Structure formats: structure tokens, C-alpha cells
Structure 1
Amino acid sequence: MKNLALGRLSAIPAQLARWSLDMLLPPRCMLCGETVAEPGRLCAGCWPMLDFIAEPLCPCCGTPFTLPVPAGMLCGACLAKPPRYRRARAALVYGGGGRDLVLRFKRADRTDLARGLADLMARAGAALLQDADLIVPVPLHRGRLWRRRYNQSALLAQALARRSGKPAIPDLLQRLRPTPSLGGLGRQERRRALAGAIRVNPVRRELLRGKSVLLIDDVFTTGATSGACLRALQQAGATAVDILTLARVVRPELV
């Protein structure tokens, strides 16, 4: 009883600090800025603006199905050409409020959103997190990192590591040369732009051998970027690679 009482007393300063901070800087909705109960949350008005990805979905690539399907059924794309990764999951469809949330985090210096966004990703990729030995972000080239000042994928990876207890290695992958913006490029153009651009950091290579890796990125579009990372990871000895992103582009023709 004495230890329990001491534990409760020791928690009081932290609670007071939290209450004081909330009085000065109230927690805000990640999307609209409305006051919410806790940091890293969405208000009741913004929640319906996001299209969350949930069952039924392809058990391999995570693409949501528009109609109920038998358990374990793969989408047409995975049946035609099975991916080299084990599983891919995303929390949100990239569009509407989901797109706004990604861009706010990625391009508006809203690094404070990382924890709340990682919570959304952790729910979508719970099984992937459980099976992971290492959490690895998609890398930025040092020039783009210098201009942007942070790697959004690394922030998400570190937040997921704190939440799950799994180690994150932000510099395991390296982008050797700057690549053009992939927006507007087709699948083959993206692959050519990324050819030879990503490798495993030589000083981290031994950490990878025989490990199951969870690759983290902000958006899954065509899979070109994650594919370049995947090839580097598998060539360096990773036994399995799963992919977890905040959002993914969903094309109706692929569902």
C-alpha cells in the first residue's frame, strides 16, 4: 500500500505539468485546429472527413475492397503479379481530409503531428508492428533533408518505435543521389528515376541480416519508392519486409 501511495504521489507533478501546459497551449485537432481533449487527436467534425482503410481489404497489399469478399482473397493486382514485400498497410486513403493531413505534416513544418499520426498507423498496422524486428524509414537525400529540415518518414518511424518498443534505425537506408519529384510520373518513370538511388548504409548492414523489417513512409502511391527500398533491404539480408504508410492512393480499377 505504501509503494502504491508513493507511486500516485510521484505522478502528481507530471499531471500538474500537463494541466498547466493544456491551459497555456490547449490541444488542437490535427486537421482544423479546434480544441480537443488530448494532443494528436481529431475533433468530431474532422473525423468523418477522413477515409480510414479497414476490412475488407487485400491481405497482401492492403487495398480496400468496395464489396465484401471471402476471407483471404487477394486483389486482382496481387493475383496477377505478387509483390516482393510480405504485407502493406495504410491508415488512410490519400484524398480529401487524408491528403490535407499528409500535406500539413509533410510540407507545413507540423512535426508535432507525428505522434498522433503514428497512433493511426499503429492501429492499421498492428500485426506488422508485432512481427517487426526493426523499423526503418524511407530515406531523403541529404540535400532535400537540408531544405526541408526533417524527414517525415523518420519522424513517423521514431514515434512508432516509442509506441511499440521496437527499435527504429533512421539511417539504415541511404538515398545516394537526389531524385526528381515523382508526382505526375507513371509507374515505369518512377522506377527509372529511383534506379540505383537507394542502398543500405554499409555500417548498418550487419544489423539487418536475418531480420524482419517494417518500412515506413508517408504515402504509398505506385510502390516505386518502397520497391527501391525493398530491393536494397532484401539484397542486404532482410528475411521479410512489410510496408506501413500513413496514407495510400487507391485507384478504383485496382480494387
Structure 2
Amino acid sequence: MQSVLRAIYPPQCLSCRAHVTSEFGLCGTCWRDTPFVAGLCCDQCGMPLPGEDEGTPVHCDDCLDRPRPWLRGRAAMLYAGNGRRIVLSLKHGDRLDVGRAAAEWLARAAAPMLQSDMIVAPIPLHWLRLLRRRYNQAALLSRGVAARTGLAHCPDLLVRPRATRSLDGRGRDERFATLEGALAVHPRRRHLLVGRHVLLVDDVMTSGATFHAGAEACRAAGAAAVSVLALARVAKGS
């Protein structure tokens, strides 16, 4: 039956819809044009850096300038070109199929940070935005990462008690001010993170303000440490 279905509906590239050999993947051209992060990157935010990876943690200027409340961070790709199109198709295009491949890319990017006691959790949406969008793309990604890494998953570890303005077009300082105190640990889930390492997952990291709010909430609730993972990282100057 599977072979019959493939003959009628052959697998398509997640980006351009060209025929491919396996499901939930990219064609050769789209893979080449997708800015996956590889090589040396900032150990706290995943920003690609010039130079060779010699196995010693290095940090970008932004992370040196503004100390992060999390331990380590990674991103699967840059939020540019085909990377941006892939993220937007998941976030606003109801392309839930993208989440399956994205979880594979995220699990690979997260490999240097993973610890056996980690609990994986998404950055939450406010309930009004969730009602409009119908799903939280970060929760789809975090669930996939947890499944592929064998780590515990808590989709409602964090909550967003108040709605915040859109961050599009806002500068770094305004982003941090908008999100200050905007996230909190669910009171019924607090016991799950006490003394454990939390891996927070989101679709895009720009200034790091959202991860900052989430990491601070986790640490205040008793998490031993926090690391962060984004599908895409906005490059400086983008």
C-alpha cells in the first residue's frame, strides 16, 4: 500500500515541491540554498563565527556584551533566504509537515549540549495568539526534538500570563523591555524542573529576549541550568 501511495503521491521537497526520494526532506538545490549553521559558532546563541572550530567554547560580541541567563545555545540555520521561507511556512503557512524535518535538524544542532537529565520545553504562546494560530510551532519542534533525543518533554512547562506586543521591527532594548517578566513556570509543573537542566526550544532567535525571559523564569523556579535551541538564528544586520 505504501508503494502504491508513493507512486500516486511521490514525496515532494518541503521547500519547492520538487519530487524527492524520501518524505519530509529537501531536494539537492534547496538543501544547498538553505543556510544551515555549521562549523564554529557562538556557544551561547548559535551565531556562526569566522575561524575554525577547535573545540573551545567561543562567544559572539552580543553574548559578551549582554550576559545570558542560559548556559549554552544552538540554532539549526540562519533566518535568511530559504531558511526564512522554511520558518515562515511552518509559522504562518500551516505547514506542519515542515516540523518533522525541522526536528531532525534541531536534534543534530543540539547534540553538543544534550544531557541525560534534560527536560525539553517550548516557548509558549499567549492563549489569544494560540487561539488565532491554532498551534504553537515551538511546541511542535520541542516535541520532535524530545522524541528524537529520548529526553523528557513538557509542552506546558512555561506559560505566558500576559499578551505582549509584536516584536517585529523593534530594537534590542525594546524587545527586552517588552518581554521582561512575560513568561513564568506553570505552577503545576514546577516540580519537574527543580534541580534539572532545561532545554528551551523556539522557532526563531533574534535578540534573545524571549529566551532570556524563559531562562530567567526557569532559573527562578529552581532549574539547575538552562540551554536554548532555535530553528533559525537572525544574523546580525539582517
TM-score range, shorter chain: over 0.9
Percent of aligned pairs with the same amino acid: 45
Q: Which runs of 5+ in 1 are unaligned?
A: 1-16
Matched, 1:28 2:12: yes
CA distance in 1, matches of 2:116, 2:137: 23
Structure 1 window deviating more from structure 2 (23-32 vs 72-81): it is 72-81
Matched, 1:227 2:193: no
8 Å Cα contact 1:39/1:116 also seen in 2 = no
Higher helix share: 1
CA distance in 2, matches of 1:209, 1:106: 31
Aligned CA distance change for structure 1 residues 73 and 205 (closer, same or farther; 3 Å): closer
Letter in 2 for 1:102: V
Matches within 5 A, 1:233-252: 233-251=218-236
Letter in 1 for 2:186: N
SS at match of 1:177: coil
Aligned length: 237
For the aligned residue pairs, the C-alpha RMSD in angstroms reads 1.8
CA distance in 2, matches of 1:82, 1:55: 23
CA distance in 2, matches of 1:119, 1:242: 18
* Residue from 109, 112, 137 that aligns with 2:94: 109
SS at match of 2:114: helix
Letter in 2 for 1:47: W
Letter in 1 for 2:36: F
Query: Per-residue CA shift, 1:185-239, capped at 9, x if unaligned?
Result: 1112112222222111001111110110110000000001111111110000111
For 1:122, the equivalent position in structure 2 comes to: 107
Matches within 5 A, 1:164-243: 164-243=149-228
8 Å Cα contact 2:75/2:106 also seen in 1 = yes
For 2:45, the equivalent position in structure 1 comes to: 61
* Residue from 17, 22, 35 that aligns with 1:38: 22
* Residue from 143, 146, 154 that aligns with 2:131: 146
Rg: which structure is higher?
Answer: 1
Letter in 2 for 1:123: R
TM-score if structure 2 supplies the norm length?
A: 0.93
Q: Which runs of 5+ in 2 are unaligned?
A: none
Letter in 1 for 2:175: R
